[in-house]
Amino acid sequence: MNSVRWNIGLGMFVLMTLISFGVYQTLTLGPSTDVSELYQTRFQGQASVLASALNSSIAAEDIGMLSDRLDQLINGADLEYAIVASENGVVSTYTRTGSNIDDVKAMTALPGVSSDGQLYRVSIPVESESSLQLYAGFSTESARESIKAEKLEAAILAFAVLIFGLAGSLILASVITRPLKRLVDAARLVESGDSGAPIHDVRDDEIGAVTRTFNTMTTRVNRLSEQLDEANEDMALYTSEVAALKTERVKFETALKASERRFRTIVENTNDIFIVIDDELKIKWISATYTRAAGRSGSSVAGQSVTDMIHPDDIEAIHAFFGSDDESIPALEARFRINDEGWHDVLINIKDLRTASGVGGVLLTLTNISETKNTQRELENAKETAEEMIRLKDSFLANMSHEIRTPLTGILGFAQVLQEELAGEQLQLVKYIRDGGDRLLKTLNAFLDLAQLESNSVNFNAERLDLVVETNNVVLQFGPEAHNRGIALDVTNDHDVLFARIDRSIYASVLQNLLHNAFKFTSEGSISVHVASEDDWVRVDVSDTGVGIAEEFLPLIFKEFHQESSGLTRKHEGAGLGLAITKRMLDVMKGSISVKSVKGQGSTFSFRVPGATQVRQASSKKSPGENLVMSELPSILLVEDNKDTQLLVSRLIRQYYDVTIASSGNAAVELAMNNKFDLIIMDINLGEGLNGVESLNEIRRLGNTSVPVVAVTAYALPGDEAKFIRSGFNDYLSKPFGRDELLDMIKRNIAVKSNRLAS
């Protein structure tokens, strides 16, 4: 841009120089012709004035006046001399004071500048006398000085014009080139990649038009640059995607080839048979597996209908596939003829490989499941056998329980009656009878408890109970035995109140089993029970000073039917179920049990149950006899078909209650409708006629809904109690039972009725 500005300035300088030179030339004369003309103009005029003055003097014939006039002209002007001559010679000669006229003839020479340039000679006639001629010589010195002064002024003026012209040229060049410089700077920014801001302060001239055009062009270039950047980004993304697709394609092709190799290897080595069929169910291709299994080539069955190889009863499923639009066809089981040995059970997976134009076929994958089907049939048979065994076991347990409990009820009941009436050796014999019956009952109950736990039919009713109270209640039951055997029995606890989330009956069974076990293996010393808190648990320790357990037997202590001494060497009675049942009961309550023992020193069984935080409330229970309204002995209807049980129950409760006996369900219904009883004790198995449940339903149907009915039965399998309660019985008591259990049950139910009547 500097070159343009200086070029413009240089051009303007040259122009102004020429203009200045022209001004100078205009204001000054040239070296020869121009000066002569100046002399002629200047001195010719003075000569004319002198000639006019001479003419006036001659006309007045005043020669003196002429002489004075010449003196004035010579002394006051550039005139150096004047000669008036006629044809006859010089009339008069006048010279400037101090000037000499040496050669008049030279003075009268031709007019013009003298050879030395000091004089300018003029010859002019005097008008009044045409015969007179005036010859005058003028000094050129003052004229030359005047010319020099004029030239100096012209030079100064030309120089001033040059200087001001140059300054104006530079200013004009700057004004012209400034917007061009902005354009160039903006163009360089665009060239460097910086779009920059548009140029403002645009003038209304051609450069302004160029600037506006440049701004428009820059805006378009910026827009095109942005579009180009976006296109480059898209192109880069597209390029990367194409590269990724190429990579994926290579990977896919590699994986496809590997998959083809694997598929070919699988097809060639698998036991499955692959068949491709067309729309007409004809075989297009069959795998080599068929060749190995059938002993003939696949080409021998090519073009054959696949239905010829499928059992007629199974062909319909194949046809169903081709007649359905559902592509999600499940696997089909069918019988397939592979060779001449007969039909084979196969699992057929169907995959439609046909394209929209019908090219391809349907792939059938046949998996030989003959062994699986045989195994399945064996499992089904085994399952049926197992279910039958379970049913027989349940039936056996139910019948055994019923058949054992029924006579045990009489044995234990009458033994209890005899104990009250006999003494001495006979009393001891009766005690043996009761002990044997109790042992048999405990064994029976253990088997039933185990069966209930194995069938997961234990009802777990979680409650927040104070384990200190519950533990003391259980331990108190063993007080008489401890006293009789001279064993110290003690209960301790870390806190006065320790709540846990337990089932009361299950907890009591667990603690009873452990205490029974402790008493069994402790002949002397002590048995202690300790209740303590342990984080979020409550721990109960049952310790004894008995025989202890060998270390190698500890891992087996909680398994069924395992005892440290067995066979002919066994020293203690029992079936080996107590601890196993105890562990399973704790599992039901989400608890755990462990044991520490030293042979010959004793054992400590520790079990934990989930703790529960609860404030113990004051009990609002009333005593069983509170608010009873009775004016005479309560009446009880005993429904029992067994004569021994009739006699036993009557003997046990007759001094407290008025007992009426019904030997059948039909008789019980009739008696219940015609009499008012406070309680009905109902056996379940009543022989012929209505059973206990049917008798209860009939009594309720006929309108007697207030009398409590209790099921007293030998059915004591897991779930029996809940089943009878759901059937409508108010309470349940299993056989065999003792006097206290029977009386507690009667009092409990009559008290409920009496309270209901009192309210």
Residue 103 in this model has a pLDDT that exceeds 60: no
Predicted confidence band of residue 679 (pLDDT cuts 50, 70, 90): very high
CATH topology of domain 2-157: Beta-Lactamase (3.30.450)
Fold: same for 2-157 and 378-421+623-759: no
Q: In the CATH scheme, what is the code of domain 378-421+623-759?
A: 3.40.50.2300
Measured CA to CA, the distance from residue 401 to residue 723 in angstroms comes to: 16
When pLDDT is averaged across residues 653-669 and rounded to a whole number, the result is 89
* Percentage above 90 pLDDT, the chain: 11
Q: For residue 736, is the peptide bond before it cis, meaning its omega torsion is within 30 degrees of 0?
A: yes
Beta bridge partners of 85: 90, 133
- Provide the pLDDT for residue 378: 86
- For residues 405 and 714, the answer to whether their CB atoms sit within 8 Å is yes
What DSSP element (H or E) covers 128? none
Residue 569 in this model has a pLDDT that exceeds 60: no
- Provide the pLDDT for residue 169: 72
- Provide the pLDDT for residue 632: 62
Length of the chain measured in residues: 759
Residue 642 in this model has a pLDDT that exceeds 60: yes
The CATH superfamily of 270-368 is PAS domain (3.30.450.20)
Spatial CA neighbour of 452 closest among 53, 54, 111, 722: 722
When pLDDT is averaged across residues 737-742 and rounded to a whole number, the result is 86
Predicted confidence band of residue 101 (pLDDT cuts 50, 70, 90): low
For 59, phi then psi, to 5°, come to -65, -30
* DSSP three-state, residue 581: helix
When pLDDT is averaged across residues 112-125 and rounded to a whole number, the result is 75
Range scoring the smallest mean pLDDT among 4-18, 406-420, 486-500, 737-751: 4-18
Mean pLDDT for all residues in the chain: 76
Predicted confidence band of residue 268 (pLDDT cuts 50, 70, 90): low
Residue 285 in this model has a pLDDT that exceeds 50: yes
> What is this structure's pTM?
0.37
Q: Pick one of 3.30.420.10, 3.30.2270.10, 3.40.50.620, 3.30.565.10 as the CATH number of 458-610.
A: 3.30.565.10
- Name the H helices within 455-571: 467-476, 479-485, 504-520
Predicted confidence band of residue 669 (pLDDT cuts 50, 70, 90): very high
- Provide the pLDDT for residue 693: 94
Measured CA to CA, the distance from residue 136 to residue 569 in angstroms comes to: 192
Measured CA to CA, the distance from residue 233 to residue 191 in angstroms comes to: 21
Residue 57 in this model has a pLDDT that exceeds 80: no
Domain ranges of the chain: 2-157, 270-368, 378-421+623-759, 458-610
Q: Which DSSP symbol is given to 524?
A: S
Largest CA distance in the chain: 229
How big is the CA angle at 166 (ends 164 and 167), to the nearest 5 degrees?
A: 65
- Give the dihedral sign, CA 242/244/250/251: negative
| Helices 643-653 and 370-421, axial angle in degrees (round to 10) | 50
- Provide the pLDDT for residue 681: 95
Highest mean pLDDT among 379-393, 402-416, 462-476, 616-630: 462-476
- Provide the pLDDT for residue 604: 92
Measured CA to CA, the distance from residue 671 to residue 21 in angstroms comes to: 164
Contacts of range 146-150, beta carbons closer than 8 Å, 24 or more positions apart: 147/28, 147/29, 147/35, 147/38, 150/27, 150/28
